Structure 1
Amino acid sequence: MLYIIAILFPPLAILFTGKIFQFIFNLILAALGIFLAIVTLGAFGLIYLLAIIHAVVVVHSYRQEKRDERLVKAVRGEK
């Protein structure tokens, strides 16, 4: 679900992961991409595409961190 949000609304997906500084960076990147797309009459612009890629990478790393935490808990025998 976060991957779909990362493609449609990149800053929102990063906000859901709880990474505030990454959210601010992506928000600036997405806003700049949308602004330049409007000014240059482009579809979305390459900068907005970079915001999408950044959001997908952040969401992937968030999910990987959660998997790692579950694995560590399982090895330690915690619930």
Structure 2
Amino acid sequence: MKLILGILLPPLGVFLTYGFSSTLLINIALTLLGWIPGSIHAVWAITKHQEQEANI
């Protein structure tokens, strides 16, 4: 579900994964530059977070 939100509404997907953090601010800046960079960053960040949780 978070990945779908990361594609459709990138800052929301990142916020639900990381909360208010520097990752969210970076994603907001990228989304303001364009929807595609924001979506790519969101998918990457959400996937990275899920991989880290799986390794724990």
Please say whether Structure 1 and Structure 2 have the same fold, judged by a TM-score greater than 0.5: yes
Identical aligned residues as a percent: 29
| Structure 1 residue ranges (4+ consecutive) displaced by more than 6 angstroms after TM superposition | none
Query: How well do the aligned residues superpose, as a CA RMSD in angstroms?
Result: 1.2
Pick the aligned partner of 2:49 from 53, 59, 62: 62
TM-score where L is the length of structure 2:
0.87
Tell me, in whole angstroms, the C-alpha distance in 2 between the residues paired with 1:9 and 1:22. 15
Gapped runs of 5+ residues in structure 1?
Answer: 34-47, 70-79
- Following the alignment from structure 2 to structure 1, what is the Cα–Cα distance between the partners of residues 38 and 8? 11
The aligned counterpart of 1:15 is 15
Number of residue-to-residue matches in the alignment: 55
- Greater RCO (CA < 8 Å, at least 6 residues apart): 2
Deviation readout 1:10-61 (Å, 9 max, x if unpaired): 011111112610100111111232xxxxxxxxxxxxxx21110110000000
Q: What stretches of structure 2 of length at least 5 have no aligned partner? A: none
The amino acid that maps onto 2:55 is D
